[in-house]
Amino acid sequence: MNYFQIKFPLISNILWTHIRNIYSILLEVLQFYLVFIILFQTFRILIYVNYPDLFANLQFFEFIQSIFLGLRFDLSSISAILFIPIVFYIIPFNYSNSLMYRRIISSIIYIQLCATTIFLTADFFYFSFVKRHITNEVLFLLNDSKYLMSEVASHIGLLITYCVLFPFFYFFFIRKTAPITHHGKRSIPAFIIIILFMIIIGRGGIQIKPIAIIDAYQHGSANLGHLILNGFFTASHYSFAGNFIERPKIDETFALNIIDLPKTNNPQYPLEKNYTKKETEKKKNVVVIIVESLTYKYIDYLNEGKKYGVTPNIDKIASEGLVFSNFFANGQRSIEGAQAILTGIPPLPGIPDIISLSVNYSRLGELAKANNYRTIFVTSTLKESFSLDLMVYASGIEEYYGREDYNLLLNYPEARERTLGWDYETFMLLSDKLSGHSQPFIAFVNASSDHTPFPRMQEPFTKYTHGQESEGGYLNMLNYTDWAIGEFMTKMSKQQYFNDTVFIITADHALAHFQTDDPYGKFKIPLILYSPKHISKGNSERYASQIDIIPSMIDILNLEGKFSNIGTSIFAPSDNFAITKEGSLLNIFAKEGFLQHSLQQVLKFIPSQNTEDENLKNELSEKIQAFDQLTYQLLTENRWAHPNK
């Protein structure tokens, strides 16, 4: 006996009794987990073996990697499935120790096991159609009983086999999971510890953000991501990501013509474009500056109305650069802006954002790497904020830095450790990371200091009365961000690559606060291109949006390779338009005017010439529906991009 046991025998006995109980109950719970893990991993292996063409580019090591990485997603799914029955199974009541009670709960879990087996089988067969796991199709199938029954009938032999096997294995399952002899007495400490354990596993760990679909695509190709995921995880996350709206099927050639996209040479992947180098020239660089809530009306050079006097550096850059006066954010949230800029996939009502979207899409980082470009993303925020880390890695960008990677250089009066971070230090970090490298680069900087709540600033950033949620607070922060941009440009101008670098200034979305019901004010954001050596200054009235940034960058950098996007380069000669998501509604901005659509009918039409024109209204309505339905169709059928591109 040790000293503690000798001195405190009663406490020691109680403690060891609780530890033994916790251990025994944990073993009981883990045996349920083990059965489900075997089930999920079996279907992962079956998918890999039965679809060799899809995974031909994966090395055997990557397959083994998918087994281990997939375990995290499997455990999350299993925790969601088992949470309620396990709560009742280990609840610290006297009757929960009885054999009858334990076997009732075990029977319920076995029913869940059978249902999960059937679901994963359906996912296995569905995988052959769209080369990904099932998502929101579950919701549509439940509302289409005839089609569901036809699918069941086509696999009636397998269903009969399951009907025979399930009862056969039931008694074996019950004897193993709820034996007559039982050692784990239920207790409150065991209950609390195991529930906390399941919650942590269910969210994928103790990180800030719970595990999401996009986590699977950080480790390589899209196909590796598909293999890491499981059908239950994608379906459940997709189902809780929004209210799904089914669209009618559209003729894709017709849709491409309506939205003025070129006719495709690959009908299976109609958005795929093969970019070829136009000429041999010295490689250029690109720096994309994404400023939180940077709104058109607050930039004096761009705004013909009230002058706020807080953007002298952006004003100077705009006066010497190329300004697009009809540029719009595709959504109203930071994640929607990041999605549009980094992937070219527009946010749409009834389709989850990129965090929950299980689909093949082109990766800018991979295209850049193939052209010997370095890719880097720096954010002022913590790296996990707004799920930026997931989107950055899923986009193939190789280097990622955030608030964890820089020290404060200024003496901020308050909120020094705010998770949104500080723009000046962020710009200086990017400058330092770029200096001393000769490799051409594509760099992004996400400046989020201007996000609410606005901290009190020091001089000279106190022009307006401070308020954490006020317009004055925002303007002071914008003044600070503008100064940080000026310092960054000054530092960059001393680098030898400065003259061959194109700077792009834009926003993640327009400022939601202090706006009227004017649709243009809700979505209009700046797009400024600055590179005196390569881009002539001026003003373009071409309509464009964030999904047009990637194809424009490909043009600027003269990249070579295949890339799928529905946006068009801002340098293209044809007219364009901007589609924006406003909750469950869609808007279109074009030279003909503004139109708002519910996906069923036109809600608002504001012609640019202030004269009602039914033909123009119909044209815009047709265009917004074609864009929406084509996007939906290609995403849900997993034909946005080739799986090996």
Distance CA 283, CA 439 (A): 9
In b/e form, how buried is each residue of 456-472, taking b as 16+ CB within 10 angstroms? ebeeebeebebeeebbe
CA dihedral 212, 213, 218, 222 (to 10 degrees): 180
The confidence score (pLDDT) of residue 317 equals 98
Residue 37 has pLDDT above 90, yes or no: yes
The confidence score (pLDDT) of residue 81 equals 96
Which amino acid, one-letter code, is at 508? Answer: D
Distance CA 539, CA 434 (A): 30
Residue 462 has pLDDT above 70, yes or no: yes
Average pLDDT over every residue of 89-116: 91
Instruction: Give the helix ranges, DSSP H, for 230-281.
Output: 231-239, 252-258
Whole-number Cα distances in Å, 7 to 1, 10, 599: 10, 9, 75
Residue 240 has pLDDT above 70, yes or no: no
Average pLDDT over every residue of 440-447: 98
pLDDT digits (tens, 9 = 90+) for 535-589: 999 999 999 999 999 999 999 999 999 999 999 999 998 889 999 998 878 999 9
Residue 243 has pLDDT above 70, yes or no: no
The confidence score (pLDDT) of residue 241 equals 57
Distance CA 322, CA 196 (A): 55
The confidence score (pLDDT) of residue 183 equals 63
Q: Cα 397 vs. chain centroid, distance in angstroms?
A: 14
Superfamily of structural domain 252-636? Alkaline Phosphatase, subunit A (3.40.720.10)
Structure tokens belonging to residue 376? 């880097």
**Banded pLDDT at 15 (limits 50, 70, 90):** low
Residue 13 has pLDDT above 80, yes or no: no
Contact 362, 344 (CB under 8 A): yes
Q: Tell the residue number behind the tokens 């589609």, with chain if given.
A: 579
Average pLDDT over every residue of 285-302: 96
The confidence score (pLDDT) of residue 163 equals 92
The confidence score (pLDDT) of residue 491 equals 97
169 contact partners, CB below 8 Å, separation of at least 6: none
Contact 534, 614 (CB under 8 A): no
Report which of 323, 430, 318, 298 is spatially closest to residue 374, judged by C-alpha positions: 430
Report which of 86, 84, 99, 91 is spatially closest to residue 33, judged by C-alpha positions: 86
The confidence score (pLDDT) of residue 601 equals 86
pLDDT digits (tens, 9 = 90+) for 38-76: 999 999 999 999 988 778 888 889 899 999 999 999 999
The confidence score (pLDDT) of residue 546 equals 98
Q: What are the backbone dihedrals phi and psi of residue 287, each rounded to the nearest 5 degrees, phi first?
A: -120, 120
Which is more confident, 381 or 9?
Answer: 381
The confidence score (pLDDT) of residue 178 equals 87
Residue 144 has pLDDT above 60, yes or no: no
Distance CA 524, CA 516 (A): 13
Distance CA 621, CA 531 (A): 37
Helix/strand/coil for 581: strand
The confidence score (pLDDT) of residue 212 equals 85
DSSP 524: B
Using only the alpha carbons of the chain, give its radius of gyration.
28
Which amino acid, one-letter code, is at 149? Answer: M
Whole-number Cα distances in Å, 472 to 299, 345, 461, 463: 15, 34, 11, 8
pLDDT digits (tens, 9 = 90+) for 145-201: 655 676 777 788 898 999 999 999 999 999 998 888 766 678 888 899 999 999 999
**Banded pLDDT at 590 (limits 50, 70, 90):** very high
The strand pairing partners of 606, in sequence order, are 594
Concatenating the DSSP letter of every residue in 395-456 gives TT--EEE-GGG----S--SS-TT-TT--HHHHHHHHHHHHTT--S-EEEEEEE-TTSSSPPP
Structure tokens belonging to residue 346? 């527009």
Mean pLDDT of the chain: 89
Q: What are the backbone dihedrals phi and psi of residue 127, each rounded to the nearest 5 degrees, phi first?
A: -55, -35
Which is more confident, 144 or 425?
Answer: 425
Distance CA 367, CA 362 (A): 8
The strand pairing partners of 530, in sequence order, are 503
The confidence score (pLDDT) of residue 200 equals 95
Residue 493 has pLDDT above 90, yes or no: yes
Q: Cα 31 vs. chain centroid, distance in angstroms?
A: 34
Contact 23, 197 (CB under 8 A): no
Average pLDDT over every residue of 488-508: 96
Angle among Cα 616, 245, 115 to the nearest 5 degrees reads 165
The strand pairing partners of 376, in sequence order, are 399, 443
Report which of 453, 439, 291, 440 is spatially closest to residue 379, judged by C-alpha positions: 291
Distance CA 119, CA 577 (A): 42
DSSP 601: S
Return the beta strands (E) in 23-133 as ranges: none
Residue 350 has pLDDT above 90, yes or no: no
The strand pairing partners of 588, in sequence order, are 579, 595
Distance CA 74, CA 79 (A): 9
Element (H, E) at 561: strand 561-564
Contact 430, 376 (CB under 8 A): yes
CB atoms within 10 A of CB 83: 13
Report which of 463, 505, 467 is spatially closest to residue 488, judged by C-alpha positions: 505
The confidence score (pLDDT) of residue 85 equals 96
Domain spans, the chain: 3-239, 252-636
Structure tokens belonging to residue 100? 């009858």
Average pLDDT over every residue of 15-22: 70
% pLDDT > 90, the chain: 62
pLDDT digits (tens, 9 = 90+) for 204-229: 999 888 888 878 877 756 788 889 99
Residue 1 has pLDDT above 60, yes or no: no
